[in-house]
Amino acid sequence: MSRKPELKGRAARLARLFPAGRANQAARTPFVLLVVLLLGGGLIGLLVLNSALSEGSFRLDDLQKQTKNLTDEEQALQRDIDAYSAPDALQRRARELGMVPGGDPAFLGPDGTVKGVPGPAALRQTTVPPAPEVIGMQSTVAPTPTPTASAPVTAPAPTPTPALTPVTSPTPTPGR
């Protein structure tokens, strides 16, 4: 067994300042504890970060699905608008409301002069072709039940037809 050499002078005085014996092990304990805490904190931080990223991924997926559904709904509504604003659909709805094509127009100049000779709308009684919705409903309507002796028979009320009258003077619209 080896013996430590005896220190003299300045080295002996410095050696007395440090505790004798387990000096290396005592200094190593805080360092090891610090490294373990840093590694544990890093692992917990990575776990929290990974959880946050996966939660964001799920939310992004849900928002993409919602965007797709809303886009599909917007396209369906746009198709409906296009179908209702088609010229033949507008003409059919106007005739159902009792409107007739206008007569010859007259134009007002900036100085108040009238250009052209206005004419009244032509009075035409035309049959209105049924709407596509009505045609589809006629095949699904149930037949009317036959009256029995105990039930009184009542005739359905006639539907009023719009009267076709010529427009004599336009009604002013505010703001136009």
Q: 176 falls in which pLDDT band (50, 70, 90)?
A: very low
Q: Side-chain half-sphere of 128: how many Cα atoms within 13 Å?
A: 19
Share of the chain above pLDDT 90, in %: 41
**Higher pLDDT residue, 57 or 170?**
57
Q: How far is CA 132 from CA 48, 50, 81, 85, 88, in A?
A: 60, 57, 16, 15, 12
CA atoms of 63 and 41, how far apart (whole Å): 33
Write out the two tokens for 69.
């559904």
Q: Give the pLDDT score at 10.
A: 80
**Range with the largest mean pLDDT of 5-14, 107-116, 119-128, 154-163:** 107-116
Q: Give the pLDDT score at 124.
A: 61
